[in-house]
Amino acid sequence: MNSVPLDSFRLARYARSVSCFICGEENLYDADRCRHCRAPLALTYQIANQKRPPRMMAVLAPPGSGKTVYLGIVTDILARRDGAGQLTARGAFSVALWQAAVTNLTEGWYPQSTHDDPSGWSWVHCRLAGALRRPVEVIVPDISGRAMERELECPHSQPFLNIVLRKCGGAAILLDAGRLAQGDRAPDFFALKCITYLSELNTTRRGWSSRPIAIVLSKSDAAPDAFTDPRKFLRRCAPGTWHQIREHLQTVAFFATATTAGTAWQRVNGARVAFPLRVEPRGVVEPIEWLIPRLR
Ligand SMILES: Nc1nc2c(ncn2[C@@H]2O[C@H](COP(=O)(O)OP(=O)(O)OP(=O)(O)O)[C@@H](O)[C@H]2O)c(=O)[nH]1
Ligand SMILES: [Mg+2]
Ligand SMILES: [Zn+2]
């Protein structure tokens, strides 16, 4: 007679659950991503037994504003530093976005647009060396612009975004300076909706009106006067956002950034595709250096 092993120890393992660091919900011990907020559970394991929980920040903008390229380049610059402000990635998953951005740009491409579904988002968990004080740990999800647009149009339609944004201690809101300079008001409307949304989020901790928000004019290679005076540029080209900031935000700063020195366009299989002309980061570190010490 054949015997079949019961392996009941396997069932016993499932009795142990894992509480997600981001949303606090329980998951099976062998899950890869949280089934509620879709954050990698590796984050939770990395943080377990740590005395100080990491800080969290969001980068928000409409699709195609340069969030993924920005995050990839700023990670690369900080990782090359020596001493204060040097970045060390925590966990292999934290290298994915950085590697994709750097590999694509060096091969003459821009990285792919971020997946709408949060199961496909990259997360960066890193440690930044401090000058005098102890290192700071930060978590940054690469949020899809399309998902954020949907959440702004219909609040609570993307529950994971609501969860993530409650947890963040600050944010960078990107506005495409090239589009603004051409008189396109779409980045202005997105940013002003974003500020209203954040200031109305119910939070147990201090609200978004006092959390730090960096207003970042991305792709400023296409609008050089944004570099001269980002605040003045925003006031002129994005008046809606400007008034919303004055009304709702207490801790805000203005920056202009560019990761490449211009873009060329070509037809590939019938579609118009953008190619970076030269990777020439400008002003990318300043928003992060302002934001991180202020995150709570
Ligand atoms: N001129 C210029 N173009 C840029 C720059 N950064 C990004 N781009 C262009 O913007 C496009 C979108 O960049 P992404 O970083 O993928 O944009 P995203 O905000 O992450 O978009 P989603 O993932 O769809 O939300 C790129 O394919 C480039 O065409 C920049 O610094 N300068
Ligand atoms: Mg993206
Ligand atoms: Zn979760």
Domains along the chain with CATH numbers: 15-53 (no CATH), 55-294 (3.40.50.300)
Q: Which parts of 8-158 are beta strand (E)?
A: 17-19, 26-28, 55-60, 87-89, 123-128, 136-141
- With the most atoms of ligand 1 within 8 angstroms of its CB, the residue from 65, 69, 151 to mutate is 69
Across all residues in the chain, what is the average pLDDT? 92
Task: Let me know: does 127 contact 84? Beta carbons within 8 Å.
Answer: no
Q: Which residues on neighbouring strands pair with residue 170, listed in sequence order?
A: 57
**205 confidence band (pLDDT: 50, 70, 90):** low
pLDDT at 265 over 90: no
Q: What's the pLDDT at 61?
A: 98
pLDDT at 203 over 70: no
Within 6 Å (CB) of ligand 1, which residues are found?
A: 61, 63-69, 110-111, 113-114, 144-145, 219, 221-222, 258-260, 262-263, 274
Give 278-296 pLDDT, tens digit per residue: 889 999 999 999 999 999 8
* End-to-end Cα distance, the chain: 64
pLDDT at 6 over 80: no
Q: What's the pLDDT at 131?
A: 61
C-alpha to C-alpha distance for 92 and 96, rounded to whole angstroms: 7
The more confident residue out of 284 and 132 is 284
Let me know if 100 is exposed, middle or buried by CB neighbors in 10 A (0-12, 13-18, 19+).
Answer: middle
**201 confidence band (pLDDT: 50, 70, 90):** confident
**1 confidence band (pLDDT: 50, 70, 90):** low
Q: What's the pLDDT at 214?
A: 98
pLDDT at 8 over 80: no
Q: What is the pTM of this model?
A: 0.93
Q: What's the pLDDT at 114?
A: 96
Q: What's the pLDDT at 243?
A: 97
Q: What's the pLDDT at 188?
A: 98
pLDDT at 78 over 90: yes
Rg (CA), the chain: 20
The predicted model gives 140-149 an average pLDDT of: 97
Q: For residue 262, which ligand has an atom nearest its CA?
A: 1
**74, 72, 97, 106: which is closest to 279 by C-alpha?**
106
Let me know if 150 is exposed, middle or buried by CB neighbors in 10 A (0-12, 13-18, 19+).
Answer: middle
Contacts of residue 227, Cβ cutoff 8 Å, sequence gap at least 6: 220, 256, 282, 283
- With the most atoms of ligand 1 within 8 angstroms of its CB, the residue from 74, 98, 110, 161 to mutate is 110
